[in-house]
Structure 1
């Protein structure tokens, strides 16, 4: 079993700073945290090797790009063995931005972003519901996203 990397306060402070702005230079982090840039580099590399830091990204506002409709779709598969092939088909759809394999009523729960309700209808009828492995779906349209955050280190 792999050893779990134990975060200390410096690691947490580094993560918080990088999560707020992944482009922050190590030298600036070092100055703000009263350590050397080498220390920052070593800590970041250790967290990368431990799988804590998995990358850096740019967050975009979907509405500013014209994606006005966000919805969540619960999917019931015909059979549990259909999961891999259904997931492969869903992954090929640009509108599907997240997918979860779940317990409970749904086998898969996905997040879909579309430019309009008409576009959502097109995705549902001509893309998602044509996947043979899917027995049924339930769509929930998001009205707003008042909380959006990641886990605090």
Structure 2
């Protein structure tokens, strides 16, 4: 991985275009940026090598798949040494879609997607709260997600 890669205005244009549409052809992107498709290819590869571009992803609409409940769960661990094992256990749960090791009120902060409140309750009682290292949890249910974007270059 290349260290200290400095992005310039062309790189920013490329990143903004790929963020809007990761499937844009290099030829079209090159035309929009007034450079050759080869230049676009070289720049994208350099940003991949530098770890700036980590890959492309498909954006999935969770609600369209029936996941109507999004919540965040603050997790307090019995001991900090329990963190690695707890993360492995949480990662095994399909309902857990993100996890963060945090400072402040919680040891771990997780994002959970479930199909219903009943599904959320079952996930909490039968899965998350059965992990011995978890001392306590606090659940915050999201009502909507009005801002959802990537970091802009």
TM-score where L is the length of structure 2: 0.98
SS in 2 for 1:136: strand
Residue equivalent to 1:143: 143
SS in 1 for 2:130: coil
Q: CA deviation digits over 1:40-86, x for unaligned, max 9?
A: 00000000000000000110111111000000000000000000000
Write out aligned runs for 1:1-153 (5 A).
Answer: 3-153=3-153
Q: CA deviation digits over 1:65-119, x for unaligned, max 9?
A: 1000000000000000000000000000000000000001100000000000000
Q: Which runs of 5+ in 1 are unaligned?
A: none
Quick one: distance in 1 between partners of 2:3 and 2:38? 24
Quick one: distance in 2 between partners of 1:34 and 1:148? 30
Runs of 4+ in 1 over 4 A off after TM superposition: none
Quick one: distance in 2 between partners of 1:60 and 1:84? 28
Q: Which runs of 5+ in 2 are unaligned?
A: none
Quick one: distance in 1 between partners of 2:24 and 2:128? 40
Quick one: distance in 2 between partners of 1:3 and 1:48? 12
TM-score where L is the length of structure 1: 0.98
SS in 2 for 1:112: strand
Aligned residues: 152
* Backbone CA RMSD of aligned residues: 0.7
Quick one: distance in 2 between partners of 1:61 and 1:44? 27
Cα shift at 1:4: 1.1
